Amino acid sequence: MARRRLDLGITNKEAAKRVGVDEVTWRTWRDSSRSRIDVRFYPKIIEFLGYNPLPEPKTRGQEVARARMNRGWSRHHLATVAGVDERTVARIEEDAPGTAPRLLQRVTEILKNPDPI
């Protein structure tokens, strides 16, 4: 994120504002690999960077997790919108065996829809 900020020629304060966080949070993300970025900020981060920094998915579960994070949704929110249990979303993202195909389909259909609500 620092490279993009420098490419744009903006301050840390301006970068933080564009992403929707305070400067302290921005600096924490920048300076600490221990600090996790809250999922709700991913859409703005992707917009700011001009690309998606999340790793390319290799499994169906990773595809679901990435699509959810691209929207800035928590597992709880996706579960609520899809009408499934939050643990079901977790199991799907973990590629756990035995997940009911109809539940997987319900979750993936929600994520394919550009405006599910």
Above 70 in pLDDT, residue 59? Answer: yes
Higher pLDDT, 115 or 107: 107
Residues with Cβ within 8 Å of residue 61, at least 6 apart in sequence: 92, 93, 94, 95, 96
Average pLDDT taken over every residue of the chain: 89
Domains of the chain as residue ranges with CATH: 2-37 (no CATH), 60-112 (1.10.260.40)
Distance, in Å, from the CA atom of 83 to the CA atom of 95, rounded to the nearest integer, reads 19
Residue in the structure block whose two tokens are 């997987």: 104
List pLDDT tens digits, range 13-49: 998 998 999 988 888 887 666 668 889 999 999 998 8
Per-residue pLDDT at 96:
93
> Which pTM does this prediction carry?
0.84
Above 90 in pLDDT, residue 106? Answer: yes
